[in-house]
Amino acid sequence: MRRRWWLAAPLIVFALFLLAVGWRLSAPPDATVKSRLVGQAMPEFSLAAAVPGRAALRSADLVGGGSKLVNLFASWCVPCIAEAPVLGELKRRGVTIHGIAIRDAPADVAEFLRDHGDPYRRIGADPRSRVQMTLGSSGVPESFVVDGRGVIRYQHIGPIMPQDVPTVLAELEKAG
């Protein structure tokens, strides 16, 4: 009788394996890579204007003036199109938004802003993703809430959709 029980051991192990697989398939792990810089001062950077004639963006511009949103976007990024009207809405609600255009050409950025709206006060160009890496960001779009002292307080990964607006506004409020 005792020996019979041991015969079932491989089956039990296999059943556990199936359970583990089933669990991970139904609840996939979070594949987003969060920046470790949340809670730390914005690293120093200085970017040229992404569109000629527009204000450029330096890290020093993010110190003072209450909380603000720094939005990493690109004209070639499809989710950014979905996000654009939401950023417009945030701007209407009085949020200061600065943009960082990742791997983009001035003419393409200008066209994107013409087609999808322009909520940005300043837009820096990050042609080699250097500032994106400096911020610990791994894709577009991503947004950072920066407080009045220039400290990163919150990171939103992916497009800010209408359902995310209350959270983002609350984080801006907290950082203000």
Partner 1 sequence: MLLVAAPAWADSGQPAAPYAYRQLADPRQEARARALMEELRCLVCQGQSIADSDAELAGDMRSLVRERIAAGENPEEVRSWLVERYGSWVSYAPVLGADTLLLYAAPVLLLLLGGLLAARRLKRRAR
Q: What is the chain's alpha carbon radius of gyration, rounded to the nearest angstrom?
A: 22
Task: Determine, following the binding rule CB under 8 A, whether residue 77 of this chain makes contact with partner 1.
Answer: yes
d(CA 105, CA 39): 32
Which positions ≥6 away from 24 have C-beta within 8 Å?
Answer: none
- Specify the residue for token string 């990493």: 72
Token digits of residue 34: 């969060």
d(CA 124, CA 169): 23
Task: Determine, following the binding rule CB under 8 A, whether residue 135 of this chain makes contact with partner 1.
Answer: yes
Task: Determine, following the binding rule CB under 8 A, whether residue 105 of this chain makes contact with partner 1.
Answer: yes
Task: Determine, following the binding rule CB under 8 A, whether residue 136 of this chain makes contact with partner 1.
Answer: yes
Task: Determine, following the binding rule CB under 8 A, whether residue 142 of this chain makes contact with partner 1.
Answer: no
Q: What is the CB-side half-sphere exposure of residue 53 using CA atoms within 13 A? A: 3
145, 142, 165, 163: which is closest to 33 by C-alpha? Answer: 142
SS3 at position 155: strand
CB 173 to partner 1: min, Å = 26
Task: Determine, following the binding rule CB under 8 A, whether residue 157 of this chain makes contact with partner 1.
Answer: no
Per-residue interface string for the shown chain with partner 1, residues 80-99, x marking contact by CB under 8 A: --x-----------------
DSSP 44: P
CB 95 to partner 1: min, Å = 23
Task: Determine, following the binding rule CB under 8 A, whether residue 36 of this chain makes contact with partner 1.
Answer: yes
Q: Which stretch binds partner 1 (CB under 8 A): 14-22, 48-56, 75-83, 144-152?
A: 75-83
Of the candidate residues 18, 21, 33, 60, the single one contacting partner 1 (CB under 8 A): 33
SS3 at position 86: helix
Task: Determine, following the binding rule CB under 8 A, whether residue 128 of this chain makes contact with partner 1.
Answer: yes
CB 21 to partner 1: min, Å = 18
Q: What is the contact surface with partner 1 in residues (CB under 8 A)?
A: 31, 33-37, 74, 76-79, 82, 102-105, 127-130, 132-136, 138-140, 158-159
